[in-house]
Amino acid sequence: MQTEIVIAGFGGQGVLFAGQVLAYAAMDSGKHVTWFPSYGPEMRGGTANCTVIVADEDIGSLTVRNPQAVICLNLPSLDKYEPLVVKGGVLVLNRSLINRSANRTDLRVVEAPANELAEELGDKRLVNAVMLGALVEATGVLTMAAIQKALKDHLPAKHHDLLPANFTALEKGAEAARRTLAAQSA
């Protein structure tokens, strides 16, 4: 059993850190995990993405052509990854910055206005936590408790005042996932 997840957006949206939280949670849950970032010039202002693979056995390739789930934090990410997600896979869209829905009808699509939700919570840096909450709810790749524990154990101590807001952001994302998936299957 192996789940491949791509998190894509532009620099500054917390793409790489969201992937690391997922990787820490997977490691602490006793899973095999790899985290592989896009690195280099694209880190400076352009697109940023990382691939996280969570598995029950040792992992081969660090990247896959057709991931099972993709978080798209902006429109270029959706344009790039929508055709690539496996049939029946999960697409999580930040509708604050993406002005269209998915074109494909063979995917489970989760939509969340992540920027607005983050700003309602008082910190625009929470966008990645909202999206991560939505992904975890939609895929069940790990438990929400494992994600919360990973944040608590691996977020630097000086940022621990942000933990409650991050937990709320995760829950807001999960709520959005439940709502949009229910609407999709209705």
Nearer to another protein, 84 or 145 (CB): 84
Question: Residue 24 Cβ, how far from another protein at the closest point, in Å?
Answer: 6
Judged by DSSP in three states, 106 sits in coil
- The SS3 of residue 25 is helix
Residue 36 Cβ vs another protein, minimum distance, rounded to whole Å: 5
In the complex with another protein, which residue's Cβ is closer, 34 or 74? 34
Binding mask 48-67 for another protein (x = CB under 8 A): ----------xxxxxxxx--
> What value, to the nearest 5°, has the Cα angle with vertex 171 and ends 75 and 134?
35
Tell me which residue of 64, 22, 51, 47 sits closest to 173, measured CA to CA. Answer: 22
Compute the least distance from the CB of residue 29 to another protein, in Å. 11
Alpha carbon 163 to its chain centroid, in Å, reads: 18
Tell me the backbone φ, ψ of residue 177, rounded to 5 degrees.
Answer: -65, -45
153 touches another protein (CB under 8 A): no
* Residue matched to tokens 């991050």: 166
| HSE value, Cβ hemisphere, 13 Å, CA-based, for 47 | 17
| Minimum gap (Å) between residue 20 Cβ and another protein | 7
Q: Which is nearer to another protein, 39 or 104 (CB)?
A: 39
Whole-angstrom distance, CA of residue 112 vs CA of residue 129 = 12
CB of 82 to another protein, least distance (A): 17
Spell out, one character per residue from 23 to 42, where the chain touches another protein: x when CB under 8 A holds, - when not: xx--x----xxxxxx-xxx-
Residue 39 per-residue DSSP state: -
Residues of the shown chain interacting with another protein in the complex, contacts defined by CB under 8 A? 20, 23-24, 27, 32-37, 39-41, 58-65, 154
